[in-house]
């Protein structure tokens, strides 16, 4: 089978059979496009003609190419896509062996999630105060992100019916896995205000849609719009740190653990399939305690 046809078959598999999100499938398509272009440049157009040495050489190329060499984490991510592709073509019996199995990704230095303090979160949320409909929507969106730890895609994919009895919200995460997350009082009040006073105005400007968060023309708010909303709020709040939707997710987890929440509960709220992923946040809180101890204790230094 040609490499192009094998890649198309794999992308259909992860999209339809595995139910991965459109954003994840798009990332796989970009990664495999880079891989296929590199192989074509080396005279390989058939999936059965790929050998282990070519996969290893591709991995080295990514980190050393003259045009924007990738860092270790980006190389590891792209190689993960390539390894998944080669497992697939083996399972489909398109090839006789998994030539990527023994090619190890570069070691990635552990990076702790970036969280902002509770006072910074409060300043960020206060920057969305206002009586105009855009401010009400932005307040509802940011309060929900911080109250639930939702990924930005999960938040903008919400429909009105995903908010139950004003107290809990149904989030659909990676692999179409659903989870129920409580809403705090501030988030409930912000969403109530938005639904009653702002959303009907947005909705009247466009075609009928069940989307919870609507843009100026009545369409569903996009991931990019959510980023811009948060960035603008951070600028108005005068925060001197980079703030993104994922910053609020990290802050949600860190503040819960600092407040004494069980790591398994936080795992469920975040939608992590493995508790090991959630435990990274315990390192953040341990670092914070260590810094406070070193600063405050008379015999710490």
Q: What is the mean pLDDT of residues 57-67?
A: 89
Verify that 128 and 245 share a domain, yes or no. Answer: yes
Distance CA 260, CA 80 (A): 35
Q: Is the pLDDT score of 199 beyond 80?
A: yes
Catalytic-labelled residue, pool 83, 151, 188, 250:
151
Verify that 221 and 168 share a domain, yes or no. Answer: yes
Contact status, residue 141 vs residue 226, Cβ threshold 8 Å: yes
In a domain, residue 150? The reply is: yes
Verify that 27 and 125 share a domain, yes or no. Answer: no
Residue 249 a catalytic site member: yes
Residue 246 a catalytic site member: yes
Distance CA 22, CA 14 (A): 10
Verify that 54 and 137 share a domain, yes or no. Answer: no
Catalytic-labelled residue, pool 13, 174, 179, 220:
174
Residue 151 a catalytic site member: yes
Final residue in a domain of this structure, among 56, 91, 126: 91
Q: Where are the alpha helices (DSSP H) in the chain?
A: 3-12, 22-41, 52-64, 72-91, 118-126, 133-148, 152-156, 185-193, 199-204, 223-237, 245-258, 263-270, 275-296
Q: Residue 254: its pLDDT value, please?
A: 85
Verify that 129 and 223 share a domain, yes or no. Answer: yes
In a domain, residue 99? The reply is: no
Total domains present in the chain: 2
Verify that 33 and 182 share a domain, yes or no. Answer: no
Verify that 205 and 245 share a domain, yes or no. Answer: yes
Q: Copy the structure tokens of residue 117.
A: 């303090």
Q: Copy the structure tokens of residue 143.
A: 């309060």
Catalytic-labelled residue, pool 10, 28, 35, 281:
281
Helix (H) or strand (E) holding 178: strand 178-182
Looking at every residue in the chain, the average pLDDT score rounds to 87
Q: What is the mean pLDDT of residues 235-253?
A: 89
Q: Residue 21: its pLDDT value, please?
A: 84
Q: Which of 133, 225, 140, 254 is nearest to 187 (CA)?
A: 140
Residue 42 a catalytic site member: no
Catalytic-labelled residue, pool 199, 249, 250, 255:
249
Verify that 198 and 244 share a domain, yes or no. Answer: yes
Q: Residue 286: its pLDDT value, please?
A: 54
Q: Where are the alpha helices (DSSP H) in 22-117?
A: 22-41, 52-64, 72-91
Verify that 146 and 285 share a domain, yes or no. Answer: yes
- CATH classification of the domain holding 133: 1.10.443.10
Q: Is the pLDDT score of 297 beyond 60?
A: no
Whole-prediction pTM: 0.64
Burial of 31 (0-12, 13-18, 19+ CB in 10 A): buried
Residue 53 a catalytic site member: no
pLDDT tens per residue across span 92-110: 999 999 999 999 888 766 5
Burial of 156 (0-12, 13-18, 19+ CB in 10 A): buried
Which range of residues forms the domain containing residue 54? 3-91
- CATH classification of the domain holding 42: 1.10.150
Residue 174 a catalytic site member: yes
Q: Residue 29: its pLDDT value, please?
A: 95
In a domain, residue 106? The reply is: no
């Amino acid at each position: 089978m040609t490499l192009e046809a094998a890649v198309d078959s794999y992308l259909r598999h992860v999209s339809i059979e595995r139910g991965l999100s459109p954003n994840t499938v798009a990332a796989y398509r970009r990664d495999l496009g880079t891989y296929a272009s590199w192989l074509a440049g080396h005279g390989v157009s058939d999936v059965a003609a790929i050998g282990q040495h070519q996969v290893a050489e591709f991995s080295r190329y990514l980190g050393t190419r003259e045009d924007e060499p990738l860092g270790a984490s980006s190389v590891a991510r792209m190689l993960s896509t390539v390894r998944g592709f080669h497992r697939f073509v083996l399972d489909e019996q398109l090839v006789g062996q998994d030539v990527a199995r023994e090619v190890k990704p570069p070691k990635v230095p552990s990076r702790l999630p970036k969280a902002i303090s509770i006072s910074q979160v409060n300043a960020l949320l206060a920057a969305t105060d206002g009586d105009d409909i855009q401010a009400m929507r932005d307040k509802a969106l940011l309060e929900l992100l911080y109250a639930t730890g939702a990924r930005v895609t999960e938040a903008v994919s919400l429909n009105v019916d995903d908010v139950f009895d004003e107290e809990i919200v149904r989030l659909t995460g990676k692999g179409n896995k659903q989870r129920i997350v409580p809403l705090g009082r501030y988030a409930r009040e912000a969403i109530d205000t938005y639904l009653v006073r702002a959303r009907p105005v947005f909705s009247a400007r466009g075609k009928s849609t069940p989307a919870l968060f609507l843009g100026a023309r009545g369409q569903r708010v996009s991931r990019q719009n959510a980023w811009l909303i948060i960035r603008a709020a951070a600028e108005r709040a005068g925060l001197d740190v980079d703030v993104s939707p994922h910053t609020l997710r990290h802050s949600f987890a860190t503040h819960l653990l600092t407040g004494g929440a069980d790591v398994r509960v936080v795992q469920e709220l975040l939608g992590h399939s493995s508790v090991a992923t959630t435990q990274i946040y315990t390192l953040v809180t341990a670092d914070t305690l260590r810094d406070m101890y070193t600063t405050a204790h008379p015999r710490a230094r």
